[in-house]
Amino acid sequence: MTALARPTHGRMIGGVCAALARRFGTSATTMRVIFLLSCLLPGPQFLLYIALWILLPSEDKAHATSW
């Protein structure tokens, strides 16, 4: 598994689904479909997406700060 960072290429809005897809070894499209389907259920999915968008570093910043 790779580090959790939003990629600079291949992202749609914030790159959260693409980052989660890389982390868990699935395609970004699959992760986006899972997210959209989860929005049909009650819960804070949009808030979680926004929080991950803010908290996850961008891939270029993650590489710059790593040793």
Q: What are phi and psi of 58, to 5 degrees?
A: -70, 150
Distance between CA 28 and CA 20 in Å, rounded?
8
What confidence score (pLDDT) does residue 55 get?
Answer: 93
| Entry pTM | 0.78
- What percentage of the chain exceeds 70 in pLDDT? 87
Give per-residue pLDDT as tens, 38-51.
Answer: 999 999 999 999 99
pLDDT above 70 for 5: yes
Q: 1 with 23: CB under 8 angstroms? A: yes
